[in-house]
């Protein structure tokens, strides 16, 4: 495409540590006082978008849904090389599950202008569902390809790419616009440069609220969520195992005795 690609990268700000606490009443993460960073999987999405821009030209937008503090994640994305940042932030968006999140992001992406490709990380470290990207594709009515490991070419309104599956590698072709989720196989994310950090510091982060979207609040946030966390807990650690030695016959007798002792047989 001679005019370049309109690329959108969806990112999320997540706790920097895996040692997080949960609110037992709501089932949500306690984010207060915890340092936050770009979701590590989303850095691979940023790298993929920047490589596409370098090869085909165009513009890279980073978009994130979250509280005002998530603005820093967008500035970090700009420091890596993204051209602009969009923050989707409104109290009515709070408490959203993946369905409500994907709907809000899909509507917001449409407000940012035309797009050729939307790129998401494989999953987030705080949710670990991998559902938001494919659900956005449903809302936008666009194809979605997950587990992408390499983009081979973009030409004549189509993209050719590879994705790794458990039983092999697929090479696929899909029309633009489309949504993809990328794995770590796409390549190591670049570090922010000094020039990038200066640009990020000066950048104006554009804000999208429900005033701009004009959505029914009942479809957003907690009210628009179809799933609820009813219980969350830390699993009890398993006790250490017992090593039994002997001949095959001795092992069989010992195991049988243990099963009888446990009243399993």
Mean pLDDT of all residues in 36-40: 94
Q: Is the pLDDT of residue 175 over 80?
A: yes
Q: What's the pLDDT tens digit per position in 192-201? A: 999 999 999 9
CATH architecture label of 5-219 = 3-Layer(aba) Sandwich (3.40)
Local structure of residue 203 (DSSP, 8 states): -
Q: Which of 24-38, 44-58, 235-249 has the lowest mean pLDDT?
A: 24-38
Phi, psi (deg, nearest 5) at residue 184: -70, -10
Residue-level pLDDT at 1 = 38
Q: Is the pLDDT of residue 230 over 80?
A: no
- % of the chain surpassing 70 pLDDT: 92
Residue-level pLDDT at 28 = 61
CB 156 within 8 A of CB 175: no
Residue-level pLDDT at 21 = 65
Cis omega before residue 177 (within 30°)? yes
Which one is predicted more confidently, 179 or 245?
A: 179
Which one is predicted more confidently, 1 or 74?
A: 74
Cα gap 132→155, rounded to integer Å: 27
Q: Is the pLDDT of residue 239 over 80?
A: no
Element (H, E) at 42: helix 40-56
- % of the chain surpassing 90 pLDDT: 77
Q: What's the pLDDT tens digit per position in 43-68? A: 999 999 999 999 999 999 999 999 99
Residue ranges of domains in the chain: 5-219
User: How would residue 187 be classed by pLDDT, with cut points 50, 70 and 90?
Assistant: very high
Question: In whole numbers, what is the pLDDT of the chain averaged over residues?
Answer: 91
Q: Is the pLDDT of residue 42 over 50?
A: yes
> In this structure, which long-range contacts are made by residues 124-129, counting pairs with CB atoms below 8 Å and at least 24 apart in sequence?
124/12, 124/14, 124/39, 124/41, 124/42, 125/14, 125/15, 125/18, 125/39, 125/40, 125/41, 126/12, 126/14, 126/15, 126/20, 126/29, 126/39, 127/98, 129/98
Instruction: List the 58-65 sheet strands across, edge first.
Output: 168-175, 158-165, 144-155, 178-182, 117-121, 5-11, 58-65, 84-88, 206-208
């Amino acid at each position: 495409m001679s005019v370049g690609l309109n690329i959108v990268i969806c990112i999320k700000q997540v706790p920097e540590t895996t040692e997080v606490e949960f609110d037992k009443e709501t089932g949500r993460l306690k984010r207060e006082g915890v340092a936050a960073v770009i979701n590590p999987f989303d850095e691979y999405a940023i790298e993929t978008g920047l490589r596409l821009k370098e090869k085909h030209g165009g513009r890279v937008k980073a978009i994130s849904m979250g509280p005002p503090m998530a603005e820093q994640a967008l500035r970090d994305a700009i420091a890596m090389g993204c051209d602009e940042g969009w923050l989707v932030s409104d109290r009515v968006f709070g408490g959203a599950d993946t369905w409500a999140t994907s709907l809000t992001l899909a509507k917001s992406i449409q407000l940012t202008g035309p797009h050729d490709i939307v790129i998401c990380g494989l999953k987030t470290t705080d949710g670990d569902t991998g559902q938001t990207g494919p659900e956005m594709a449903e809302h936008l009515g666009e194809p979605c390809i997950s587990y992408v490991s390499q983009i081979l070419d973009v030409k004549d309104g189509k993209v050719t790419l590879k994705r790794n599956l458990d039983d092999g590698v697929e090479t696929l072709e899909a029309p633009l616009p489309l949504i993809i989720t990328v794995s770590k196989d796409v390549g190591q994310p670049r570090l922010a440069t000094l020039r990038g950090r200066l640009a990020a510091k000066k950048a104006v982060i554009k804000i999208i609220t429900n005033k701009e979207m004009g959505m029914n609040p009942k479809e957003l946030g907690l009210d628009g969520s179809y799933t609820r966390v009813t219980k969350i807990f830390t699993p009890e650690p398993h006790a250490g195992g017992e090593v039994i030695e002997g001949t095959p016959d001795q092992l069989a007798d010992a195991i049988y005795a243990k099963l009888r002792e446990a009243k399993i047989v």
